[in-house]
């Protein structure tokens, strides 16, 4: 358990930690001396070095089991980072199944994971770092479920902060979408999961998440806005 007056990051559960932004956060937590743990649909390729629990974050039962399993393995945890999500290239055009999947993963998945984690965060006087993406380009019809889910996450996180009860704190990371996010993955490249899309500047967003994780409880950050570095957009 970290000293709440220091910049120790402690035990950090990261959703979507197998690749993309989530994987970058896992590496950063480990480099900072913390203990990362991952919830994802894609197993880690590290021979069990990182605590891992399989879950589809849009499924409440999966998430409840994953959170409980990691809490038991780590003897609780100090922070949650919600990095799992479907980017705009995985929002499915007009396919209603893909629309439901985008909203289920991004919005319902975030709410479900935070709800499951709050009792453990209260025990540790820990924090939830909720990541959401703000549009960097004009809205388009094919991205409607993606846009709706991200705005829903933003409102959920703000309401959670304003109506907070218990011993946890909440930080919202508002990461502006990069233009590269709209491109489809290379079909000839390595197999990836659509949940691993990273429609943001991963380096800058990871830096913002680590800044929030390092804050003492008496200097909490409610919201951080991340814009792409020059040359990324």
Which residues constitute the domain of residue 141?
11-226
Mean pLDDT of the chain: 82
Alpha helices (runs of H) in 75-143, residue ranges in sequence order: 96-103, 109-124
Per the domain annotation, does 84 fall within a domain? yes
Radius of gyration of the chain (CA): 16
C-beta of residue 81 within 8 angstroms of C-beta of residue 16: no
C-beta of residue 228 within 8 angstroms of C-beta of residue 178: yes
Q: What is the pLDDT of residues 58-75, one digit of tens each?
A: 999 999 999 999 999 999
Per the domain annotation, does 2 fall within a domain? no
Per the domain annotation, does 182 fall within a domain? yes
Per the domain annotation, does 4 fall within a domain? no
Q: What is the CATH number of the domain that holds 92?
A: 3.40.50.720
pTM (two decimals) = 0.84
Q: Say what the pLDDT of residue 190 is.
A: 40
Whether 175 has a pLDDT exceeding 80, the answer reads yes
- Count of the separate structural domains present in the chain: 1
Per the domain annotation, does 195 fall within a domain? yes
Give the integer Cα–Cα distance in Å for 156 and 161: 9
Q: Which residues contact 17 (CB under 8 A, 6 or more apart)?
A: 23, 25, 26, 36, 37, 38, 39, 40, 44, 50, 83
Mean pLDDT of 41-49: 93
pLDDT band at 89 (very low <50, low <70, confident <90, very high): low
Higher pLDDT, 163 or 12: 12
Helices 60-74 and 109-124, axial angle in degrees (round to 10): 30
Q: What is the pLDDT of residues 97-147, one digit of tens each?
A: 878 888 899 999 999 999 999 999 999 999 999 999 887 655 544 467 777
Per the domain annotation, does 92 fall within a domain? yes
Per the domain annotation, does 155 fall within a domain? yes
Per the domain annotation, does 5 fall within a domain? no
């Amino acid at each position: 358990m970290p000293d709440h007056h220091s910049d120790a990051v402690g035990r950090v559960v990261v959703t979507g930690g197998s690749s993309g932004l989530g994987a970058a956060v896992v590496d950063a937590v480990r480099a900072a001396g913390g203990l990362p743990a991952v919830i994802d649909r894609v197993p880690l390729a590290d021979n069990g070095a990182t605590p891992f629990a399989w879950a589809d974050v849009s499924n409440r039962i999966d998430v409840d089991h994953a959170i409980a399993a990691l809490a038991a393995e780590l003897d609780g945890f100090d922070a949650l980072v919600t990095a799992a999500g479907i980017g705009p290239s995985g929002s499915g055009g007009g396919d209603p199944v893909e629309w439901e999947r985008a909203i289920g993963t991004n919005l319902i998945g975030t709410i479900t994971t935070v709800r499951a984690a709050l009792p453990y965060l209260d025990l540790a006087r820990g924090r939830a770092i909720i990541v959401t993406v703000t549009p960097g380009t004009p809205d388009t019809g094919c991205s409607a479920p993606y846009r709706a889910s991200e705005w829903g996450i933003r409102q959920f996180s703000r309401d959670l902060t304003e109506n907070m009860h218990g011993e946890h704190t909440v930080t919202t990371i508002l990461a502006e979408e990069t233009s590269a996010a709209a491109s489809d993955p290379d079909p000839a490249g390595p197999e990836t999961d659509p949940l691993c899309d990273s429609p943001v500047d991963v380096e800058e967003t990871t830096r913002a998440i680590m800044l929030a994780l390092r804050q003492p409880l008496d200097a909490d950050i409610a919201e951080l806005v991340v814009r792409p570095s020059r040359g990324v957009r």
